[in-house]
Chains A and B, each alone.
Chain A
C-alpha cells in the first residue's frame, strides 16, 4: 500500500514530467482535456492519451498578461503553464466552451500563443428538456470523434470505442471500491491521499492506473484499522474542476474531523456513472453526459437539488457536517451556493463554506472557520 501511494504521490507531485515521460515511453499523442465533461473514452479509442488538465502549484506570472486575476484558479494557472511553455508534451487540447464562461478564454489564447497541433472546442448543451438536447449532444460527440480520427489517423470503430469504455468503466469500478473501503474504514487513507489517487487516474493511462488500484485495493482490504470514534465525520462538497490545496484537507483532519466520503470533482464526481456497453457507444457516452446526478451546476439542472444529494451522502456516511469548498471565481458554484446553503439551513444540517483560491490562501482564516465549525458540531 505504501509503495502504491508513494508512486501516486510522485506522479501528482510533477504531472508535467510524468505525462511527458508516458508520451515518450508509449509514443502516444497526449490530449489535454479540460475538466469536467470531455469524454476521454473517445480520445483513448483514437489511440491517444487523454489527460485531464490540471491546476499547477505555482504562482501565475505570464498568464496574467492574458487573463484577469478574477478568473478562477485553473483558468489562470493553465493559461500560465501554456504561455510559459510548460506543456510541450501536450499535442492537443479540448475545451468544453459551454461549461462556464471562463472556459471560453482558452480557444483564442491557445491558438494565438501556444498553437497546439490539435485544438477542439466542444459545445455540449445544458440538460434542458426536449429531444434537441439529446440529438445535439450526440452530434457534438460525433463531430469530436471525427476530428480525433483526422488528427490521430486512426478510425474509431464501435468495437474500439466499446473497448475503451470498458477500460474506463473498470477504472471507475475500482475507484468506487476504494471509496467503499474508505467508507467502511475512513482512517485507512488521508483525505489528500484519496484526492491524489483520483488525480493520478486523470493523468495515467487508465490501464496502468487500474493495475495499481487493484494492488492498492488488495492492500486496503487486508489492512486493519482501529476506528477513531472521537473524530467527527464531514463531507466536503464542490471543488469543481480543480485540485484543492492538500493543506486544507490536512487541516480538516488535524482539527479532529474525518472524511469518509466526498462530493468533489477531484473525488467521487470524477468516476460517477459508468457508460453503458449496450447499443451505440456514442449514444452511450451522450447518455452519461446527460445524466443529471451527481448534480453539476454547470449543466443547467434545477429539477433536482444538489443539497438533497449532499444530505443523502451525509446521512449514508453517518456524517455530522458538510464543508462546501467553493473555488473563488467559479460562477456556476457561486450562483448555486446560496440555494445550497438555504437547503442546509432548512434541513438543520451543519454546513460551512470555505473559499479556495489558486494563490496561497490564508490558512489561518480557514482554520478559524473550521475550528468554529468543529465546535458547533460538538467536537473539541
Chain B
C-alpha cells in the first residue's frame, strides 16, 4: 500500500517571518529616522553594520521578495524598463524596484527600499558588480566595490586572501568612515562576530539533526531560518531563535518525530545551488508525496560551517580568513571545492541522491554540475540529476521538467537499492 507522506512542520520556524519583516521594515523606515542606508552584495554588509548603517543584502532582499510574492511584479517592471529576461533575476529585481520607485510604478510596498547612501558591491560574481554599476549609472549612487574572487585551486587562496584583506583595510574601511563621518567601529564588528559565532554554533547543533534517520527537519526549514546567520548578523534575536529551534529538534528526537510523517523519509537528497526562494512550497509539494526530503546543500554551507574559526578579537582579519584562510568558504563556489564538500556531505548525511538546481539566470553555483555529478557518482555511487529553474522568476520554472527529473532520480535511487 502506498504511504501517504506529509511534512511535520516545525513551530519555531513560524517565528522567523516576524523577525525578517522587522528587519526590512526598519530598513524601509531608516531614512525617516535620519539613519544612513547601505545596500550590499556578497559578505560585505558587516562593514556597514559595524558603522551603525541600516543595510540591505542583495540575495537576502531577493529571497524576501520571493517569499512575500513580490518577485514577479518587480521583474515585470525591470523588463518594462529595458532589462533583458535572461539577465540575473536578482539583478533585475533590484533594477525593477529602483525603477518602480523612480517612475512611480506601483509595486508591493514591502518590496520597496530606500535608495542607499552607499552601495557596498562585493563582487563574488560579476553580476554583483553589474547591478551596482547600473544603479550608479542610473541614479548616481555612490559605489564601494570589493573584488571577491572565487578560488578554483586551493593553492591560489593565500594571495587572493591578501588582495581581499587589503581591499577591506585600504578601501572599504576608509570609505565607510568617509560616508558615516566617524572612525570605523572595530568594537562593533567584534560584537557582531561574537553574536554570529554563537548563532552559528547553535545552528551547527541543529544541523546534527539532519544526520539522523529519519531526519528531524528539512533543508527548507533551514532555508527559511537563514537570516540570523547572514543579513540579521549581530542581532541577538538570532541566538534566541536558534536556541528555541534546537530545543524543538531535541524534543522531536526524544519523541521520535520525523520531518516527514508518518515514519520518515524514503529518499534523502542533497540540494545543490541557490534555494528557489519563490518556489519553496512548489518544490516541497513535489518532494513530499514521494517521501523525498532535501536535508543538506551547498548554499547553507556558505554560512560559517566552522564557527570556531570566527575570531571576534581580530574582526577584519577573521572576516578575510573565513572566506580565504582556514575557512575557505569561497572555495565552495568552485567545482573542485564543490566536489570535496558534497563528498563529505554524502558520507556525513547518508545521502541517497543529488538534486542539482541549475539557475537559468545565475550561474555561480551551476558551474560544471554535470561533471560534478559524474565524479561523485563514480566515487560514491550516488546518482544525481539537474533541475533547471530560477530562484525568483516564474518564467524560468517548468513543472513538467522538474517532475520528470525528480522521477528519474527516484528511479535511479530505487534501482540501486535493489
Closest to A339 in B: B137
Bitwise, B328-363 to A at CB < 8 A (1) or not (0) is 000000111001000000000000000000101011
With contacts A300-B133, A329-B86, A331-B126 known, is A128 near B167, CB below 8 A?
yes
In the complex the two chains form, is A339's CB within 8 Å of B388's CB? no
With contacts A123-B156, A335-B91 known, is A100 near B126, CB below 8 A?
yes
**A334 interfacial by beta-carbon distance below 8 Å:** yes
In the complex the two chains form, is A339's CB within 8 Å of B134's CB? yes
**A132 interfacial by beta-carbon distance below 8 Å:** yes
Of A65, A102, A332, which contacts B363 at CB under 8 A?
Answer: A102
Please report the C-alpha to C-alpha distance between residue A48 and residue B362 in the assembled complex, in whole angstroms.
36
Mark the stretch among B18-26, B140-148, B204-212, B253-261 that contacts chain A: B140-148
Closest to B171 in A: A130
**B138 interfacial by beta-carbon distance below 8 Å:** yes
The minimal Cβ–Cβ distance linking A207 to chain B, given in whole angstroms, is 33
Closest to A139 in B: B159
Closest to B360 in A: A70
Of B87, B170, B336, which contacts A331 at CB under 8 A?
Answer: B87
Of B131, B133, B166, B367, which contacts A104 at CB under 8 A?
Answer: B367
**B127: chain A residues within 8 A (beta carbon):** 101, 331, 335
Bitwise, B111-138 to A at CB < 8 A (1) or not (0) is 0000000000001011101111110111
With contacts A104-B334, A338-B82 known, is A121 near B153, CB below 8 A?
yes
Please report the C-alpha to C-alpha distance between residue A100 and residue B375 in the assembled complex, in whole angstroms.
25
Please report the C-alpha to C-alpha distance between residue A97 and residue B333 in the assembled complex, in whole angstroms.
12
In the complex the two chains form, is A108's CB within 8 Å of B129's CB? no
**B364: chain A residues within 8 A (beta carbon):** 101, 104
**B137: chain A residues within 8 A (beta carbon):** 302, 305, 339
The minimal Cβ–Cβ distance linking A70 to chain B, given in whole angstroms, is 5
**B381 interfacial by beta-carbon distance below 8 Å:** no
**A294 interfacial by beta-carbon distance below 8 Å:** no
With contacts A300-B126, A300-B129, A329-B86 known, is A66 near B146, CB below 8 A?
no
**B218 interfacial by beta-carbon distance below 8 Å:** no
**B88 interfacial by beta-carbon distance below 8 Å:** yes
Closest to B359 in A: A70
The minimal Cβ–Cβ distance linking B84 to chain A, given in whole angstroms, is 5
Q: Which of B83, B335, B372, B374 gathers most chain A CB within 10 Å?
A: B335
**B262 interfacial by beta-carbon distance below 8 Å:** no
Bitwise, B363-382 to A at CB < 8 A (1) or not (0) is 11011101110110000000
A 262-318 contacts with B by CB, 8 A: 297-298, 300-302, 305
**B412 interfacial by beta-carbon distance below 8 Å:** no
**B62 interfacial by beta-carbon distance below 8 Å:** no
In the complex the two chains form, is A133's CB within 8 Å of B147's CB? yes
In the complex the two chains form, is B147's CB within 8 Å of A101's CB? no
**A341 interfacial by beta-carbon distance below 8 Å:** yes
In the complex the two chains form, is A101's CB within 8 Å of B370's CB? no
Of B149, B170, B334, which contacts A131 at CB under 8 A?
Answer: B170
In the complex the two chains form, is B166's CB within 8 Å of A113's CB? no
Please report the C-alpha to C-alpha distance between residue A133 and residue B143 in the assembled complex, in whole angstroms.
16
**B150 interfacial by beta-carbon distance below 8 Å:** yes
Closest to B132 in A: A302
A 81-131 contacts with B by CB, 8 A: 97-102, 104-105, 107-109, 112-113, 121, 123, 125-126, 128-131
**A66: chain B residues within 8 A (beta carbon):** 368, 370-371
**A335: chain B residues within 8 A (beta carbon):** 87-88, 91, 127, 130-131, 133-134
**B5 interfacial by beta-carbon distance below 8 Å:** no
Closest to A126 in B: B147
Of B91, B335, B363, which contacts A108 at CB under 8 A?
Answer: B335
Of A109, A126, A135, A143, which contacts B129 at CB under 8 A?
Answer: A126
**A342 interfacial by beta-carbon distance below 8 Å:** yes
Please report the C-alpha to C-alpha distance between residue A326 and residue B84 in the assembled complex, in whole angstroms.
11
**B81 interfacial by beta-carbon distance below 8 Å:** yes
**A337 interfacial by beta-carbon distance below 8 Å:** yes
Please report the C-alpha to C-alpha distance between residue A123 and residue B152 in the assembled complex, in whole angstroms.
9
B 303-336 contacts with A by CB, 8 A: 334-336
Of A100, A113, A125, which contacts B149 at CB under 8 A?
Answer: A125
**A108: chain B residues within 8 A (beta carbon):** 152, 334-336, 339, 367-368, 371-372
Closest to A337 in B: B84
In the complex the two chains form, is B371's CB within 8 Å of A123's CB? no
Of A112, A129, A131, A302, which contacts B133 at CB under 8 A?
Answer: A302
The minimal Cβ–Cβ distance linking B315 to chain A, given in whole angstroms, is 19
Please report the C-alpha to C-alpha distance between residue A70 and residue B369 in the assembled complex, in whole angstroms.
13
Closest to A302 in B: B133
Of A70, A71, A109, A300, which contacts B147 at CB under 8 A?
Answer: A300
**A153 interfacial by beta-carbon distance below 8 Å:** no
**A27 interfacial by beta-carbon distance below 8 Å:** no
In the complex the two chains form, is A342's CB within 8 Å of B171's CB? no
In the complex the two chains form, is A65's CB within 8 Å of B150's CB? no
With contacts A101-B363, A132-B167 known, is A298 near B147, CB below 8 A?
no
Please report the C-alpha to C-alpha distance between residue A302 and residue B139 in the assembled complex, in whole angstroms.
12
**B131: chain A residues within 8 A (beta carbon):** 335
With contacts A136-B163, A300-B145 known, is A101 near B126, CB below 8 A?
yes
Q: Which of A97, A109, A341 gathers most chain B CB within 10 Å?
A: A97
Please report the C-alpha to C-alpha distance between residue A34 and residue B185 in the assembled complex, in whole angstroms.
43
Please report the C-alpha to C-alpha distance between residue A326 and residue B147 in the assembled complex, in whole angstroms.
25
Bitwise, A320-342 to B at CB < 8 A (1) or not (0) is 00000010110110111111011
Please report the C-alpha to C-alpha distance between residue A254 and residue B85 in the assembled complex, in whole angstroms.
30
Closest to B366 in A: A68
Please report the C-alpha to C-alpha distance between residue A100 and residue B129 in the assembled complex, in whole angstroms.
11
Closest to A133 in B: B147
**B147: chain A residues within 8 A (beta carbon):** 98, 125-126, 128, 133, 300
With contacts A70-B86, A108-B371, A335-B88 known, is A143 near B159, CB below 8 A?
yes
Q: Which 6 A-B pairs have the closest CB atoms?
A: A338-B82, A108-B335, A335-B130, A132-B166, A302-B133, A101-B363
Which positions in B face A, CB cutoff 8 Å? 81-84, 86-88, 91, 95, 123, 125-127, 129-134, 136-138, 143, 145-147, 149-150, 152-153, 156, 159-160, 163, 166-167, 170-171, 334-336, 339, 358, 360, 362-364, 366-368, 370-372, 374-375, 386, 388
Which positions in A face B, CB cutoff 8 Å? 65-68, 70-71, 97-102, 104-105, 107-109, 112-113, 121, 123, 125-126, 128-133, 135-136, 139, 143, 297-298, 300-302, 305, 326, 328-329, 331-332, 334-339, 341-342
24 A-B residue pairs with CB within 8 Å: A66-B370, A68-B360, A68-B386, A98-B150, A100-B126, A101-B126, A104-B152, A104-B334, A104-B363, A105-B368, A108-B339, A112-B375, A113-B371, A125-B149, A125-B163, A126-B129, A129-B145, A130-B171, A131-B166, A132-B167, A302-B132, A332-B126, A339-B138, A342-B82
In the complex, besides A65-B370, A105-B367, A128-B171, 16 extra interface pairs with C-beta distance below 8 angstroms are A107-B152, A108-B334, A108-B335, A121-B153, A123-B149, A128-B146, A128-B167, A133-B167, A301-B133, A302-B143, A332-B130, A335-B130, A335-B133, A337-B82, A339-B137, A342-B82
